Structure 1
Amino acid sequence: MPESAVPLPAPKLGEPYLLTPGPLTTAYSTKETMLKDWGSWDAEFRTMTKSVCRQLVALAGDTSGEFICVPMQGSGSFSVEAMLGTLVPKDGKALVLANGAYGLRAAETMRYLGRAYTLIDKGDYMPPRGDEVAAALDADPAITHVVAVHCETSSGILNPVAEISEAVYKRNRKLLIDSMSAFGALPLDVNKIRYEAMVSSANKCIEGVPGFGFVIARRSVLEAAKGNSHSLSLDVHAQWAYMEKTGQWRYTPPTHVVAAFQEALRIHAEEGGVAGRGARYTKNRDVLVKGMRDLGFETLLKDRWLSPIIVTFFCPADPNFDFSTFYDLMKAKGFIIYPGKLTVVDSFRIGCIGRLDEHVMRNVIQAAKDALADMGVTSAAPPEAAIAERAKLAA
């Protein structure tokens, strides 16, 4: 991919870049849209909600009307719980695929819901594979649904949802996808990857601000889910039915957030949709990974599983390295990074998503180089134990 000729505008008002998996750096025009107040019952806002839902279904590739979009107030985890609680029947059983914190959170959600589930936990380093899913489904006929995370941002692994889907539907089960940190930048076309529903959030790859998530589901599946939900406010069927009848959200909607999201969708389309957004994020990742490796840092994952969403790096073994100090130094240089979320080794994460480009990533690398010098770190190489642990678990 050729280098961008013109850098994206820097954040205004002295804001640092958010190199996180969301919330993330947004366009100034997206922020500016929130300066207007909206009435939740007003026809103009109802039209906005309808337009947003229509555009999201189009991003999923549906042109037949088979799928519908239901926005849900709250953070992404609210929408994940809403999807699971509405679409997994009370007498159903889910196979949850985990290789990090968010798959494990889905399993914990099922436990809270009191719904039957079983778990494949791959740890921090490797994705669940289709043959493993097939074996689990063959061994347990009671499983009705499989829950998969598209991109596991605790490590940065891009999971192979296409082969997982193939294994699921060959055995006449149903797939639910948490595409929180991937939808809008990585393809999840309903015509190419079969699933019953997926969930994502406003403040991820479409580059809106936090405040709502959304469930894109087959109309027939949602129609059949009436009465399944454990919750009044997290009932996706009830939210959809009310919106169909009135055009309004059931409870107070995040009006400013929806307006900002409408602007973010406009920018997303202008950039070239999923393909254009994904290309920029991929370039961000490639520049970041090469530059950090040149400094001596080691990525948690091998290239095959690196997503263009977020990259996890091992913390250096050098005794002068301290993550809190490194974080503060990076922030002082205009970059907010993310602590690691691994269970075995110390790490940190740098996001590739948001309103930033390869020029920003080169500045990130320089800031990291300067921070190491400021701390007196002479080598960014990780502990030998971290590499050994990765080799053992990835074998």
Structure 2
Amino acid sequence: MSLIYKIATKQSEFEQILKLNYRTFVEEIPQHNENESRTLIDKFHNENKYIVCMKDEQLIGMICVRSNRPFSLDGKIGKVEEHLPVIVENPCEIRLLAVDPQYRNGRAFLGLAQALIRYCLKLGYDAALISGTTREQKLYGQMGFQPFAYLTGDEDAAFQPMYLTKTTFDEGIAGRILKEQVNFLPGPATISESVKAALSASPFSHRSKGFETLLQAVQNKLTTLANAKYVQILHGTGTLANDVVAGQLSLMSGKGLILVNGEFGERLVNHAERFGLDFDIVETEWGTPFRKEHIEEAVKSGVHHWLWAVHCETSTGVLNDIELLKSICESNNLQLSLDCISSIGAVPLNLDGVLFASGVSGKALASYSGLSFVFHNVQVSPNKNLPRYLDLGAYAAADGIPYSQSSNLVTALAEALKRYKSPEVEFDIIEKRYDLIRNGVEEAGLTILSEKSDSANPIMTILLPKEISAKELGDNLYLNGYNLHYESSYLNERNWMQISCINDVGEKDIRKMLSILKGLCMVDREPSIIR
């Protein structure tokens, strides 16, 4: 099994921490007195956050982080900020760096340094301070630590105050070999070098002929990809696009129906409430697709004029059936609108027969967040009853450029869309990536919320057993270099974790992530202790 880095939470881990602490700082470095228990409890033990390196169930290395002031160094040299050669605003203290002598080949040390820098950056620390034993100055330097102030301790156990920042870490060996986090988030997407270059090009006026030509080309690519007649590009998130759709629905007469089977269906309800729309709700259990009989039962009264639903329900990983919804709407003379934010660019999309649909640039299309789309299959006119920025007709009347727009964001999106010369190739890649990950997750003994037949290839939702905390597991995967989706409130409430398959991640990185995931789950089945 690979070395795994995690935050210590288990009784067995803390027992091993005390033993390694004793072996290192009593027997090897004579900093403390011997005792019969052969364990050493640090004076800040209850404040320390221990990052540990595990091989199977054996703890082979550790480092701990503490942010409470005063630091140990404050007591030795005075306020550390007065000695530092750099300005810091939110430092933390690093203590008890120790690795079992059998594993001091550099790998565990470097892994701990990388886990440490990820942890510190995630929590917003801008500097890490440590008293480094003079015996290992070269090693600390490889990790990026820089000396400051003066030696402390005595001849038998001399220590050099040192500091680590993101800059000094990047300049050390550990930083130079540190890979970027492998992205399994549903957004922001992993950005290719060509798209990065497009964004950084010199901006040009949105009133120029060049911008008009660029925008029309992007609109043509989007409508071709989604099989829609028209699309307007908005500068904002998917929330803006759905507000624009809600605004258009507010101009229609009659009652509506909103379908809900997850968090983002509930958000459509909130959009509709804020516009004062008259509507009913058909709610289906999270993790299951919309049921034909439920919808037909709701619309048989004939009072509904429109229906609004989410295509790919990101919160659960369910892909709802567009053709089913089209059929029901056609049979009952309803106008259909869809949230396609997580599906555009990830699965085949046919918006023929759909009145309005929303999408974004920063998910499967793999461009930067900041642009959203509203597709429409009928011509729309400006309407003064709507706020200017939410008036879809105002965009259409101005050929898509009613207000200031960013040429950089549109240029980046144009570059990202070049991948879709053969959309089916991209869809196939995502599907194969999904199958590989799903198989690995199930082999690890974990359960996927949605049935395979109902699932959306862009994302899957994992149901974790009660003894495994989604937050702890997600934090630990982050320390190992893998960024999964677990911090949204609707996931925290249910102890769910999500893996997105939209990003360009190779098979080797996928298999390594799955191995770490399995290893962490095996370790974490022992309940955490409260500290």
One-letter identity of the residue aligned with 1:328: D
Corresponding residue for residue 388 of structure 2: 232
| 1:1-395 pair list within 5 angstroms | 14-39=179-204, 40-61=206-227, 67-89=229-251, 91-139=253-301, 141-191=302-352, 194-220=353-379, 222-223=380-381, 226-227=382-383, 230-243=386-399, 249-269=401-421, 272-273=422-423, 275-318=424-467, 321-339=468-486, 341=490, 345-372=494-521, 376-378=523-525
Gaps of 5+ in 1: 1-11, 381-395
Contact 1:85 1:229 in 2 (8 A): no
Q: Deviations over 1:218-254 (max 9, x none)?
A: 134x24xx427532111111111112xxxx6222223
Change beyond 3 A, Cα 1:129–1:379: farther
1:343 Cα deviation from its structure 2 partner = 8.8
Structure 1 Cα separation of the partners of residues 256 and 272 of structure 2: 8
Conserved in 1, the CA contact under 8 Å of 2:368 and 2:412?
Answer: yes
User: Contact 1:242/1:249 (CA < 8 Å) preserved in 2?
Assistant: yes
Q: Is the 8 A contact 2:359 2:372 kept in 1?
A: yes
Other structure's SS at 1:144 match? strand
Shift of 1:117: 1.2
Distance 1:300 1:93 in 2: 33
Q: CA contact under 8 A between 2:203 and 2:406: conserved in structure 1?
A: no
- Report the Cα offset of residue 378 of structure 1: 4.3
Query: 1: distance between equivalents of 2:495 and 2:521?
Result: 17
Give the Cα–Cα distance (whole angstroms) in 2 for the partners of residues 80 and 260 of structure 1: 23
Residues 125-145 of structure 1 show CA distances to partners (whole Å, capped at 9, x for unaligned) of 212123322221112x33111
Quote how far apart the aligned CAs of 1:14 are.
4.3
In 2: Cα distance, 1:299 partner to 1:47 partner: 45
User: 1:119–1:277: structure 2 CA closer, same or farther, 3 Å change rule?
Assistant: same
Take 2:393 and 2:288, find their aligned partners in 1: how far apart are those partners? 35
Pair 1:342–1:333, CA change in 2 (3 A) = closer
- 3-state SS, counterpart of residue 44 of structure 1: helix
Deviation digits for residues 71-94 of structure 1 (CA, Å, limit 9, x no counterpart)? 111001110110121244253322
Look up the SS of the partner of 1:308 in the other structure.
coil
Higher relative strand content:
2
CA shift digits 1:174-220 (9 cap, x unpaired) = 100111100122222245xx211211111122111101111111134
Write the distance in 2 (CA, Å) between the matches of 1:282 and 1:88: 37
Deviation string 1:53-101 (CA, Å, 9 cap, x unpaired) is: 0111111235xxxx11111110011101101212442533221011001
Q: Which amino acid aligns with 1:323?
A: A
Give a deviation string over 1:351-377, Cα, whole Å, max 9, x none. 11122244432222022124335xx22
Paired residue secondary structure (1:348): strand
Count of residues in correspondence between the two structures: 348
Question: How many angstroms does 1:32 deviate by?
Answer: 1.7
How far off is 1:379 after superposition?
A: 8.0
Q: Is the 8 A contact 1:134 1:168 kept in 2?
A: no
Name the SS for the 1:183 alignment partner: coil
Taking a change above 3 Å as real, the CA distance of residues 41 and 113 of structure 1, as seen in their structure-2 partners, is: same
1:390 aligned partner: none
1:25/1:356 contact within 8 Å kept: no
Taking the aligned partners of 2:502 and 2:512, their CA distance within structure 1 comes to 15
Structure 2: gaps spanning 5 or more residues: 1-176
Q: Percent identity?
A: 23
Partner in structure 2 of residue 392 of structure 1: none
- Contact persistence 1:283–1:358 (CA under 8 A): no
Amino acid at match of 1:101: E
Cα distance, 1:323 vs. partner? 2.7
In 1, the alpha carbon distance for the partners of 2:319 and 2:516 equals 27
| Rounded Cα–Cα distance in structure 2 between residues aligned with 1:379 and 1:42 | 63
Q: Give the residue type in structure 2 aligned to 1:134.
A: E
CA distance in 2 between partners of 1:379 and 1:158 (Å): 35
How far, CA to CA, are the matches of 2:178 and 2:210 in structure 1? 30
Residues 125-167 of structure 1 show CA distances to partners (whole Å, capped at 9, x for unaligned) of 212123322221112x331110011100000001112111101
Q: Tell me, in whole angstroms, the C-alpha distance in 2 between the residues paired with 1:262 and 1:202.
A: 10
Q: Structure 1 residue 19: deviation in Å? A: 1.2
Task: Report how far residue 36 of structure 1 moved.
Answer: 1.0
Query: 1:168 corresponds to which letter in structure 2?
Result: C
State the distance in 1 between where 2:321 and 2:182 align. Answer: 30
**TM-score, normalised by the number of residues in structure 1:** 0.82
Task: Report Cα offsets for 1:312-348 as digits up to 9, x if no partner.
Answer: 0012333xx3333322221122211111635973211
Secondary structure of the residue aligned to 1:182 is coil
Find the structure with the greater CA-based Rg: 2
The structural deviation recorded for 1:298 is 1.0
User: How far apart, CA to CA, are the structure 1 residues paired with 2:476 and 2:227?
Assistant: 43
Is this contact kept in 2: 1:80–1:106, CA < 8 A? yes
Q: Any idea what SS the aligned residue of 2:448 has? A: coil
